[in-house]
Amino acid sequence: MNEHAMKLLVVDDERHFLETLVKRLGRRGFSVRGADSGERALEEMSASPADVVVLDVKMPGISGLETLQRIKADYPLTEVVMLTAHADMEAAAEGMEFGAFDYLMKPMDIDELVYKIEDAWRRRSLRGLKIQQMRSRARTSPDET
Amino acid sequence: MSHEASYKSLRRSMILMLILVSLAPLVMVSAVLGNRFHTSYKEKALAHLDEVLLKHKQTIDSFLDAKVAEIRVLVDVTPFKAFFDPQTLESLLLSLQDRHHGVFVDLGVVNAEGEQAAYAGPFLLGSADYSQAHWFQAAMRRQVYISDVFLGVRGLPHFIVAVRKKYEGRDWIVRSTIDFAAFNRLVENVRIGDTGLAFIVNKDGEFQTKPRMDISSELPKLMALIKSRGKPGAGRWLSRAKDASGVWSCLFESPSTGQEYVVLMTELKGGEWTLVYQQTERDAFQDLYRSRIAAIVIVLLGAAAIVAAALYVSQRFVNHLRRLDREKEVLNEQMLETGRLASVGELAAGVAHEINNPVAIMMEEAGWVEDLLEDENPWENEEEIRRALSQIRTQGGRCREITHKLLSFARKIDPTVVLLDLNQAVEEISELSEQRARYAGVQIITDLASDLPEVRASASELQQVLLNLINNAIDAMDGRDGRLTLTTRKVGEDVQLEVADTGRGIPAANLQRIFDPFFTTKPVGKGTGLGLSICYGVIKKMGGDITVSSKVDAGTVFRIRVPGAEDTHVPAGKDAQSRTSA
C-alpha cells in the first residue's frame, strides 16, 4: 500500500484555512488538492476522483452533508473524513449515517488528521483490493466450471 | 406611578362599596325602627298622661259633687228652721269639718235679698250683704252652684258651694266656703317627672288652683288654646287632638323660656273650668330620648366599626394585590431573562461557528510556521513565516470583534430607558445575525430611512426584540434561500420597522395566538414560545404596537410602530443608506 499514491481532496469554505491546510498536507507528502465549496468539490471529483476527502460540514451553498451524500453516491469507494464545529454533534452523527469514515472537530491537530486520513486510505485500499479479488475470482470461476 | 394611582382608586371604590353596603341596611333599619318606636312610644306616653289627667278629673269632679251633695243632704234632712239657730249651725259645721277633714270652712244661710241670715265659722261675718256677689246671683238662678275661686270679702282665695231651698214661700241659700288649700292639694298632686304641672283655670283665665310655678306669662297663649277646643290650625294638636275621653293634647312653645311643652286639657264643672296639665316635651318623652341617644350611639359605633373594617379589609386586599403584582413583575422579568437566554443560545450557535473558523485558521497557520521551522534553514522561508504571522494577527482581530459584539449584547438586562437610534440597533443585530443567516442561505437586506427620529427604549430590550424577530425570520426560511428585509421608515410622528421574510408563512389559525406566551410551533425543546410575547410586551411598554401579516408559503411581515421621541433632531448630512449583505 503506497500512501503517497493516494489522491486527497480538502473542502472548506474558509479560504485561508484551506490554503494553509493544503500546504501542510502537501509538505507531509500527500498529493492534495483544495476546493472552497461543495460545488467546486464535485467538479474536482468528476475531473479526477479522490481516494479520501476531508470535508467541512457547514458551508454556504451546497452544504457539507449534501456534498457527502453526492460523493458517496457517485464514488462509493471514496472515504470521507468530516470536519465539524465544536458543538455540532448532530451534523457529525448524520454524516456517519451517510457513510463518512470518521469525523474530527475543528480546530484539529494536524497529526490527528494525518492519522485519520491514513486510516481512511487503508480502508479504501483494502476495500479496493477486495473488490479486485472478487472481480478476478468472478473472472476465473467460469474457467473452473 | 400609575400603578399606585390605580391601587388608590381601587381601594377608594372598595371602601365606598363596603361602607355603602354595610351602612345602608344599618341606617335604614335604625331609621325605620326608630321612627316606629318613636311614634308608638309617644302615643303610649300620651295615653298614660291622658289616663292620669282623667283620673284627676274624676277625683276633682267627685270632690266637688261630694261637697255639693253633702250640703244638699244637709239642707234636705235638716229642718230648715234649725239653720237659723247659731248653736245648731255651729254643731252642723263642726260635724262637717270633723267628717271631711276641715274642707268646709264655714256655713251660712242667705236670704233672697242677699243678706246673710245666719252664719257659723271663723270669720264672724255677721250680716254680710251678698246681693251683688256673682255667686249669689248665679245661685239664685239655679238650684245648686259652685263658684269660681275668688278672694271675696275676706281677702283669701276660696270658693263657695251654694244650694237654694224654698222655705216658707221664700228662697233661701245655704252656702259653705270650701277650703282652698284642701282643693288645691288635689290638683297639686298631679305631678309626673320633674316638670309636670297641673292647674285649673276658669273661662276668664283665672287660676282656680295655685300652680307650683309662675306661668302667668304663658297663660294668654294657653287660654287661646283652651278656647279653640282643639280646632285644627289653632295649635299643634297631636294626633289624638280630642279623644273620646275628652282630653285635648297639643305641643306648645313657652313664650318666655322657649321650651317645648306637651299640654293636655280637659273640661271640669261642665265646661266652666279647665284642668290643664303641662310638662316639657323633653321630660315627658325622657325615656324615648334616652333610648334614641343609645340607638344613635350604637349606630355611630357600628358605623365606625364598619369604616374601620372597610379600611382594614381594603388595605389588606390592596397589599395582597400589590404583592401579587410584584410577584408577577418578577415573573415577567424572569420570563424576559429566559427568553433572552434562549435567543442568546440561538445566537451563540452561529457565533461559535464564526469564532471557530478564525481559531482553526490561526492553529493551521501556527502549525505551518512550526512545519517551516523544522527545515534545515528556516530563514529561507522568512517571507512565508511573516505572511502566516500576519494572518494569525488578522484572524485574532476577527475573534476580538466577534467577542466584543457578543459581549455588548449578552450583558444583563438593563431596563433603563434612553434615547436610541433604531437604525443603529438594526445594523448591530443584523451584523450579529449575519453568520447564522449565511449558513441558512438567507440574505439580509437593510433599508434604513435617514430622517428617523430617535426612540425611547431600553437598549437591551430593543436588541432582544430585533434579535427575536430576525431569528424567527431565519428559522422560517431555513433551507429556502430566502430574503430577510429590514426596513425603517418615519410615519407621521412614529417610527416604523418592518421585518419581512420570504419564509413558509404562518397559518391563519396560528396568527391569532402568535403573541401568546408559550405558544410555539417548534418541537419540544427547540422553542420556548416566549420570543414574540416578549417582543409584544416590550413594544407595548414603549407605547407602540406590533402587528403581523402573513401568507402561507409567501412570507411574513412583522410591523412595529413606536412613537418617536419629540425633541430629536436628525444629524444633517446622513444620507439614506441601503446596505446588502450575504
pLDDT of amino acid B239? 53
Count other C-beta atoms under 10 Å from residue A60's C-beta. Answer: 14
Q: Where do we find the cell 325615656? A: B287
Residue B381 pLDDT > 70: yes
Q: From CA A111, how far away is CA A117, in angstroms rounded?
A: 10
The domain in which residue B442 lies consists of 415-581
The pTM of the full predicted model, rounded to 2 decimals, is 0.48
Listed in order, strand segments (DSSP E) in B185-333 are: 197-202, 236-242, 247-253, 260-268, 273-280
pLDDT of amino acid B241? 47
**Percent of chain B's residues with pLDDT above 70:** 89
Three-state secondary-structure class, residue B364: helix
Query: Are B388 and A110 an interchain contact pair (Cβ–Cβ within 8 Å)?
Result: no
pLDDT of amino acid B568? 46
Q: Work out the pLDDT band at B577, boundaries 50, 70, 90.
A: very low
Query: Are A85 and B356 an interchain contact pair (Cβ–Cβ within 8 Å)?
Result: yes
Q: From CA B453, how far away is CA B427, in angstroms rounded?
A: 16
Dihedral of CA B308/B309/B314/B319: which sign?
A: positive
pLDDT of amino acid B349? 66
Is B511 within the bounds of a domain? yes
Is B99 within the bounds of a domain? no
Contacting B with CB below 8 Å, chain A residues are 14, 16-17, 20-21, 23-24, 27, 58-61, 85-88, 106-108, 110
Three-state secondary-structure class, residue B497: strand
Is B573 within the bounds of a domain? yes
Query: Are B353 and A58 an interchain contact pair (Cβ–Cβ within 8 Å)?
Result: yes
User: How many contacts does A have with B, using Cβ atoms within 8 A?
Assistant: 53
What residues of chain A lie within 8 A of the CB of B436, using their CB?
none
Residue A107, preceding peptide bond in cis (omega within 30° of 0)? yes
Q: Which of residues 424-453 of B touch A (CB under 8 A)?
A: 438-439, 441
Search chain B and give the residue with CA nearest A106.
Answer: B360
Any bridge partners for residue B3, and if so which?
A: none
At B499, give phi and psi (nearest 5°): -115, 105
Query: Are A107 and B356 an interchain contact pair (Cβ–Cβ within 8 Å)?
Result: yes
CA distance A129 to chain B (A): 34
Query: Are A24 and B364 an interchain contact pair (Cβ–Cβ within 8 Å)?
Result: yes
Residue B581 pLDDT > 50: no
The series of mean pLDDT values per 10 residues for chain A, 145 residues long, is 74 91 92 93 93 89 88 92 78 88 89 93 91 86 55
Indicate the number of domains in chain B: 1
CATH of the domain at B483: 3.30.565.10
Which of B308 and B285 is assigned the larger pLDDT?
Answer: B308
Asked if B434 and B444 touch (Cβ cutoff 8 Å), the reply is yes
Any bridge partners for residue B489, and if so which?
A: B496
Is residue B397 less than 8 Å (CB to CB) from chain A? no
pLDDT of amino acid B479? 67
Is B25 within the bounds of a domain? no
| B360 → closest Cβ in A23, A60, A107 | A107
Mutate to test the interface with B, among A12, A14, A17 (most CBs of B within 10 A): A17
Residue B191 pLDDT > 80: no
Dihedral of CA B351/B353/B359/B362: which sign?
A: negative
Is B562 within the bounds of a domain? yes
| Assigned C-alpha cell, B310 | 372597610
Q: From CA B405, how far away is CA B398, in angstroms rounded?
A: 11
Q: What is the mean pLDDT of chain B?
A: 82
Is B212 within the bounds of a domain? no
**Percent of chain B's residues with pLDDT above 90:** 16
Any bridge partners for residue B531, and if so which?
A: none
CA distance A11 to chain B (A): 14
Q: What is the DSSP letter of B158?
A: B
Q: Work out the pLDDT band at B500, boundaries 50, 70, 90.
A: very high
C-alpha triplet B521, B522, B526: angle, nearest 5°: 150
Q: From CA A145, how far away is CA A86, in angstroms rounded?
A: 57
Is B370 within the bounds of a domain? no
Is B570 within the bounds of a domain? yes
Three-state secondary-structure class, residue B75: helix
pLDDT of amino acid B522? 75
Task: Return the minimum-mean-pLDDT range out of B102-116, B212-226, B312-326, B368-382.
Answer: B212-226
pLDDT of amino acid A44? 93
Alpha carbon separation from A77 to A44, A101, B429 (Å, rounded): 16, 11, 45
What residues of chain A lie within 8 A of the CB of B395, using their CB?
16
What residues of chain A lie within 8 A of the CB of B357, using their CB?
14, 17, 106
Any bridge partners for residue B106, and if so which?
A: B177
Q: Where do we find the cell 470583534? A: B401
Alpha carbon separation from B417 to B52, B456, B460, B538, B542 (Å, rounded): 89, 6, 10, 11, 9
| Assigned C-alpha cell, B541 | 411598554
| A17 → closest Cβ in B360, B388, B439 | B360
pLDDT of amino acid A87? 61
CA distance A92 to chain B (A): 14
